[in-house]
Every structure is written in C-alpha cells, then in structure tokens.
Structure 1
C-alpha cells in the first residue's frame, strides 16, 4: 500500500456539484485540498455542449447504475445515470438552474430544529454562488462563480408548449427563482456563451493551477480510514491495482452524492450493524440511518410524433417547464413539475419516432422512501439502490394527474402544426386505470436522488449527520451533497446541492452571517 501522509489539510471525495464548491471555498480560505474523484477529467466535448447530455447517458462518464426491481413499477430495474467525471452529475445533467420553493427549506429548518437551514438563511448562499446574466437583483447574485443564463431564443416547440399551457389556463412565470413558481415558463440554465458550466468548471476550473490543490482522478474510494474514532484519511485504488492511502490533517469531506456517500460510509463500517455484518464489513460505528430515506423525483414521457423534422435548437433541449398541483394537493409548494423536450425521450416499451418531442410529467413531492445497501464488501460492485418508487398511493395518483395535465397541453391547437399523433401513452389509454398502468410501466427518474445521509438531530433514528453536517460518531468526517437533504426540494437538485456546498464550507471554516 502506498501512503501520502499529511498531504493536505482536507480531503474532498467527489468533484461534483457540492464538492466543487467546498474545494473552491477551502482553497480561497488558505487551506490545502486533495480532491479524490472516481471519474476522469472533463475533456469530452459532449460534456461542454448544452445539447450533448443525451449521448452522455450510459457512456464512459456515467456510473450506469440500475435500481433493484421496483415492485410498484412493473418490477422494472430503472436506469439511474450519475456523473463519474470532474463535475459529477453537473457535467452530464440538463443544466436547469432552479432552487425549489421557500417552504422546502423552512421545512428542513423545522424538521431539524436549526433555523440556519431556513429559506431566509440559505437564499444568500444561493445568491453567493450565482453570476446571473442580468446581474444582481433581489432574487439573484451577480458576481459568483456559477454562470446562470436565461433561454435567449427558445425553440419553436418550447414556445408552443408555453403557449399551449397558457391556453389551458396556466399562468406565465417569468422567473421560477423569484416569488412565484406555479405556472409555465422557460428554464434558466447553468450555461454561458453556448457552453455548459458545470460546478467543477465554474468553481475550480479558474484555479486549477492553485499550488495548494491536488486532484486525483480515476480513484475509486474503498473506505474512510478511522483511527481512535477520528477520520484521518481515505483508502482508494487508482489507475493500477495498488491501494493508496491519503491523509487529511483537518477533515475528510464526502461529496459523492446520494449514492456514493452512503456507499463509502457503509464500506467504512459506518452504518446499520446488521447490514454491515451481512456483507462482511466490520462495524466501526452502528449508525442505522445510513442508506435510509432514499427518494427521487419521478419522471416519465408523453411522447409525440412530429409531422416533420425538428430544428436542433440552440439551448439545452429542456427549455420550458410547468409547475402545477395535483388534485387535492394543499402544500405551499407545487407538487408537479412537467418538463418539455423538443426531442423524443423514450418511454419504456413504446415506439420512438424519428422526429418527435416529449412532454414529461414529473412529481416533485414524492412520499415513497427506499434504501441504499451494499451488494457486497467489494468497492467495485454497484450498491443496491431501492427507491421503492410509487409505493405510496399518493405518488401514483399525483403522477396520473400530471400525465393528464400534459396530455391536455399536448392536444392543444398550439401544437397542431407539428403534432402527428401521441405515441405514449397513446390513443388506447382512455381511463384513469389505463394511465395508472402506463405510469407503472414507464416511470423513471428525474435524476434527483437525495436523502441517504439525512441531516437531523441526534434523536432522529434516520439521521446520519447533524445540522453541522458532521457524521454522528466519527470526528473529522462530514458529508456535503444531496444525500444530507431530509426531503427533496421541489425542483432540480443541482442548485440546491451547490447551496449545500456553500453551507458546508461556511460550517467547516466557522463562518457565520456571511
């Protein structure tokens, strides 16, 4: 085994949305940082093109995870793309910048008992990260590292979607990151000058030659090294078979996401003791919440065939969206977030047209919860992800409501110049039972997995970290990524994960009121 004793003040495992922020802020504060990333350098041109994300799914930069068979979703194993590259999933996502509803964060504060996670206290962190193309406003930051842009020239089909939704009574929303969310409008994107701006490219790219920064790519983490109750380093394997040990003088920060971070904790013997024993991992800390509370926004596809070929578009292929409420939903935040794509995004078991577009129903307040477990003690083996989607009857009924809303929009006269016909769910799906079956057969992911290292009080049996993001029972170890979210925000999770990175950096540095 090779050792790198005292190589850095901090080790950050994972160079994704939150990890990139932590790295930048710690370097800015004068610390040395060793980044350990399982993926490669972000040199693939498809990463940097706003239209490139479809070809990245299932490719060399994707962990390529599948869930366990989902018994409430026709026993299908659902494909969960996750970024394995500098930038993590921010290097392969759809680049939508949205924070969620204020009530999402007020609920975090209420549940954890810590008002520092309330909307009033996290909004400045969102703004600190952001460099909005319109500059600083009440709702946006103007000089942060992360570029955020509006859709300049929308695709004609995206404009038709907005027009169709408005004809169906939905309100036009100019900015989903301002005061109102319920309605239809264009997305904002983490792009600038026709390029994707991942978290890594935005936060760390400008300082890659920093003398206190060490970046190790192609490094699969095997475990956190714990000595006398304290995390002191990481064991990982690099490009060769040799096991390498790197040390941190101050702290180890796990930023591997809702899949990677709990997997690392479990491999390190930190988790439910019975499960660890069942896969032959020695127990270091019996922490039952590790891998619990797994949940995700669920998305599927209403697919339409077009009468003619469609222009490629100049933006991210995901230019417009709708926020709405399902029947009987009374929450402060909306629970539905349909998304428009001017490409055919396949629905399992349904034909894919050569020329087509998609109105994708999505739910953003799922009640179903699942687990993340190890398949074995082998770090090279994918974990067992069981989100248990559609287990709660609400999730199924809300998704059916979303399908119906999307079908009504898809049937609008605004689409008449393009619409040849609906392929999924198709004309044979007439009743609500038909649509329930369609949802079970085709439900997939919105790519927003969270919750597996839940933040909470020590009295919460499912909590893994405190509100300071320290792992219970292990000194010198924190988690900073989407896995700490008690509940998923009502929007895409890239911006919230970046905010978690900002908050983690403040906590590590002892900064208050910034």
Structure 2
C-alpha cells in the first residue's frame, strides 16, 4: 500500500492551492483525490467565461445538491451547484473575486483563540496569492498565481448604474478589494486573457509535473481510516474498484458540504447522530455540520427602452461568431463573465460596514439562460443581483445514511430570523432606489421582476420566498474556534479530538464574509499551508482600511469626488 506524507481529499479551490504549496518541497509526497473529472484544457464550457451557465446543473461538472424543503420559502428545495471537477467550484462559478471587508476578519479575530486571523494577518496572504492586473500596491499583490483582470464595464448601462448609485447618495470606490470596499466600482474577475483562471489552472496544473505530486480524478473518497484517534489514510473508489491509501496527514478540502459529510461518515461528528445511523464514533465533535451559512439572492430586472444590452449577442444565431471570437482571439462576449461591476453598501445605520452586495448585469437573464416574462427572447433589459450578506440564519449538513454517494440533508433556514427578513426588505428598497434614479431615465422601461405589484414589506418577503436563489456561498460547517461547537484548531486546522486530520476549505470559516467566498477560501488555503508546514507566518501588514465610524460621514456627498470626500 502506497504511503504519502499528505493526502488531500478534493482537488477544488483550497485543495489546488494546498497541493501546490505542500509539494514545493521535493521530499514531501502529496496525493490529491478528486471525485470529479479533469478540467480538460479544450473544454470550452469551463474555460470560456461566458459559458458559465452550462456546467451549472450538469452532472458532468456539478454535484447538483439541493436543500431540504425550506419552511420559510414555501417548502421549496433550493438547488445548490458545487463543482465536481478539478478546480471545484472555481471551475464553474461566476469568476467574481471579492475578498470581503477588512472588518470581516476583525470579526473572525474577535472570537477567543482567533487572534491570528485578523485583517493584518490575512492581508499578506491575499497579496501573495494574486497578480492584480490593475496594479499592485500596499493592498494588492502583483506576482501571485491567481491572475485578476478588472472588468471593463464599458456598456452604457454600466455607466448609468454607476451614475445612478451616486445620485442615490452612494460613493464610488477605486477598488472594492483595496482601501475601501464600500461603494461601487468595476469588479476583479478570475479571468486571464479571456479564459477562466480557476484554482486548478493557477495552482494545480503548474505543479502537476512534480514527481512528488500525484493527482487522481474520478476518485470518490468514502472514508477516512483511523487507528484510534489518529487518521492514517483514506478509502476511495475509482472505476468501480475500492482502494486504500496510507497517509501521514489527511486534509479534507471538499467544501462546506462534502467535508462535514466525510467527517460524519468516518465517525467524527455528533455522537448521538452518528449512533442513530450505526456509524462507529471516533470523536464526538458536535459542531461538525452545524453553523451552516450562505447568501441568498434575487434578481431585480428592468426592461430597456434602448437596444444597448448584450442580449442580441447571446442569441443562438450569433453564438458561432461569439465562439469563434473567443476561440481564436480570446475577445468578445465569450471572454467575459458579464459580472463586470457592482458595489457594497449599508442598508441601515446599525451596521458597521456593508451588508448588501450588488452585481450588475447589462442583460435581464437567469443563471439557466431564461429571460423574464415581459421581455421577448433576445430583448433588451438589465438587472442587479442583490441580497443581505450577514444573515443570522444558521443551518446544518447531516448525513442521511452510511452511503457516501447519497447526498446529505442540507438545511439553510433561509428567512427564518427577524434580522434576515428586515434586511431583505431594505435590500429591495435600496436596489429600486438606485435603479430608478435619473441616470437610468433613457433606459428604464419598467420593472419586470418583481414588478410594481410587489411593494409592501409583506409583498416583498412573499416574493423573495418564492423567487430567491442561493448565491452559492455555503460555508462555516467545520468552523475554526476554541468553543465547544468549533471543529478546527485555528492555529493548525486540526480537527478536535483527532490527530493527523485537518480541514481547509469554506467549511473552516467561522463566519461568512460579505461577498463571493472564493477569494477568502484561497487566502485561507495559503495561510493554512504555512500552518501545516510549520513555516514562519508572513509578517502582519499595517495597511489602513476604511471605517465610516472613524469620523467619516455615513455616505459622502455624491457631488464630491472620492478624493474630496476623504
């Protein structure tokens, strides 16, 4: 039986980064087990940015999870896409790169034992991992594996959106990942010269030529093997055959759903829950699978008076041209994820930093490619994706059986709290306020979704319950901390009550950040690599960041430039 120093379960975002960093020492052997297929370089559905709707919901790329009936959303089962391919969800996501707010990490660090996860200690790892094409500075990196291109946002609808935000009293900002997140700006994207730049392309493939790194796809890990409390390897199936491998360390990187599922299948979790399913208990860690957090979102869609949206370019008759432009020139509509701009604002005076995120699109369309009623196929429109970032609703991930192929029960409890419902009403009103400013007058041909019939607080919440979708940011189900419901030691990412077993992925986060979670997961993987290897951590940064409560106005006078307001 082959023995490796490290076995990494999951070749997704965090797993790709860890595989690269842990295998840099040629004397360290690393095995990556990925349940999905390879992200073949010739696969346009992965590598063409505009093709992002195609892998989502496709069993060849997607785990295709769904929630239990959500009691506050008409008992709807909410579909959850998760990448089942090298690169994981970074190979099928919207390619939006958002670090979150610096105060997210101050919130992390405020918990006991989490002091080294503050912004000052996380920023150096954000910088180490990125090449920001917009320019490196004290907040942004310039020579890391992750290449980030700033969205051009040249469509006139983006111009109207940014102007409307200012007319509504919200500022612009130079960089939502820099000194000030709060405000509206062009967004960073994981796109490199017209191609999706996933974690696998950035980290894993450049390392796969190393003799000490082995990557096996189509390998479903079914169990972590233990001797007593120590993890000594894993079992996995590949091409219908059962395999076993021995490891000095096992690192789970399956994400916020798969990692707690595998822990529970292996006997690590709530002892009472495991006993009911007949799973022998290795370690009673009741926090495994608990504390589930996510972002819910809706699309607010408007018809456009003028033919300026990108809808015609996406018609079937124009797709051969779109494909050829991308294939031969890496340009055109195929080379963008279309999420080229947006912003972050506060919906009320009680929050210390933005609790709403906007993604603007110069087209009215859903993730599955369908257009709303009221717009003819290929007709012109525009939309924002909007939703609260800090819902206090908490859910869980629990296995239903001992069969690793059976999806676990996912309970998110969306809209279950007073805060969540209040901020949902606020978010819709803020979005409408922006979209009905004078800057949109040349384009605004009326709200299509939810439409003018949805106005009162009750009507808004009824519509959200019927129409909202996940923003695909499940997290926090094996969180770091030192309290009884934490799962991981924040100093080394080890699973409580075990030895030789760690978890590094979105499940490790103590609280979800206020944005897309890919960037925080990659930072977490970079920092965890040093913790696992025992390296001296990167020195803490001293870069300042914006806090409106430090004597700053709630929102600067929109008639002033950013420099004048600060």
What is the TM-score with the length of structure 1 in the denominator? 0.95
Consecutive aligned runs of 4 or more in structure 1 exceeding 6 Å deviation: 347-350
CA shift at 1:411, angstroms? 2.2
Cross-structure match for 2:160 = 160
How big is each residue's C-alpha offset from its partner over 1:417-436, in whole Å with a ceiling of 9 and x where there is no partner? Answer: 44333121111112222112
Cα distance in 2 for partners of 1:415, 1:92 equals 32
**Residue number among 364, 367, 370 corresponding to 2:395 in the alignment:** 370
Cα distance in 2 for partners of 1:195, 1:229 equals 44
User: How many residues in Structure 1 have an aligned counterpart in Structure 2?
Assistant: 505
**Residue number among 5, 20, 23 corresponding to 1:24 in the alignment:** 20
CA shift at 1:135, angstroms? 4.1
- Quote the RMSD (CA, aligned, Å): 1.8
Q: Is the 1:39–1:218 contact (alpha carbons within 8 Å) kept by the matching residues of 2? A: yes
Cα distance in 2 for partners of 1:112, 1:499 equals 21
CA shift at 1:349, angstroms? 12
- Give the SS at the match of 2:301: strand
- Give the SS at the match of 1:262: helix
Cross-structure match for 1:320 = 341
CA shift at 1:350, angstroms? 6.3
Q: How does 1:228-247 map to 2 (within 5 A)?
A: 228-240=228-240, 242-247=241-246
Cα distance in 1 for partners of 2:277, 2:445 equals 53
C-alpha change, 1:136 and 1:29, in structure 2 (3 Å) is farther
Cross-structure match for 2:498 = 474
How big is each residue's C-alpha offset from its partner over 1:430-462, in whole Å with a ceiling of 9 and x where there is no partner? Answer: 2222112112212221111111001111xx121
CA shift at 1:239, angstroms? 2.3
1:57 aligns with 2:56: yes
Cross-structure match for 1:34 = 31
- Give the SS at the match of 2:356: coil
1:206 aligns with 2:231: no
Cα distance in 2 for partners of 1:352, 1:465 equals 50
1:491 aligns with 2:491: no
C-alpha change, 1:341 and 1:206, in structure 2 (3 Å) is same
Cross-structure match for 1:310 = 309
C-alpha change, 1:36 and 1:352, in structure 2 (3 Å) is farther
What is the TM-score with the length of structure 2 in the denominator? 0.86
Q: Compare 174-183 and 350-359 and name the one that shifted more.
A: 350-359
- Give the SS at the match of 1:391: coil
1:450 aligns with 2:450: no
1:262 aligns with 2:260: yes
Q: Is the 1:72–1:391 contact (alpha carbons within 8 Å) kept by the matching residues of 2? A: yes
Cross-structure match for 1:506 = 530
Q: Compare 107-116 and 72-81 and name the one that shifted more.
A: 107-116
C-alpha change, 1:202 and 1:229, in structure 2 (3 Å) is same
**Residue number among 295, 306, 309 corresponding to 2:293 in the alignment:** 295
1:462 aligns with 2:458: no
CA shift at 1:342, angstroms? 2.6
Q: Is the 2:109–2:115 contact (alpha carbons within 8 Å) kept by the matching residues of 1? A: yes
Cα distance in 1 for partners of 2:293, 2:99 equals 18
CA shift at 1:380, angstroms? 0.6
Cα distance in 1 for partners of 2:152, 2:129 equals 22
1:177 aligns with 2:177: yes
Cα distance in 2 for partners of 1:77, 1:375 equals 16
Cross-structure match for 1:423 = 448
Cα distance in 1 for partners of 2:537, 2:278 equals 45
**Residue number among 431, 452, 474 corresponding to 1:406 in the alignment:** 431
Q: Is the 2:12–2:86 contact (alpha carbons within 8 Å) kept by the matching residues of 1? A: yes
Q: Is the 2:97–2:188 contact (alpha carbons within 8 Å) kept by the matching residues of 1? A: yes
In the alignment, structure 1 segments of 5+ residues that lack a partner are none
Q: Compare 297-306 and 447-456 and name the one that shifted more.
A: 297-306
How big is each residue's C-alpha offset from its partner over 1:355-388, in whole Å with a ceiling of 9 and x where there is no partner? Answer: 3332111111111101100121111111111011
Q: Compare 387-396 and 314-323 and name the one that shifted more.
A: 314-323
CA shift at 1:285, angstroms? 1.2
Q: Is the 1:255–1:479 contact (alpha carbons within 8 Å) kept by the matching residues of 2? A: yes
**Residue number among 328, 345, 364 corresponding to 1:344 in the alignment:** 364
CA shift at 1:352, angstroms? 7.3
**Residue number among 381, 386, 397 corresponding to 2:422 in the alignment:** 397
Q: Is the 1:257–1:483 contact (alpha carbons within 8 Å) kept by the matching residues of 2? A: yes
CA shift at 1:336, angstroms? 0.7
- Give the SS at the match of 1:301: strand
- Give the SS at the match of 2:357: coil
Cross-structure match for 2:11 = 15
CA shift at 1:257, angstroms? 0.6
C-alpha change, 1:421 and 1:35, in structure 2 (3 Å) is same
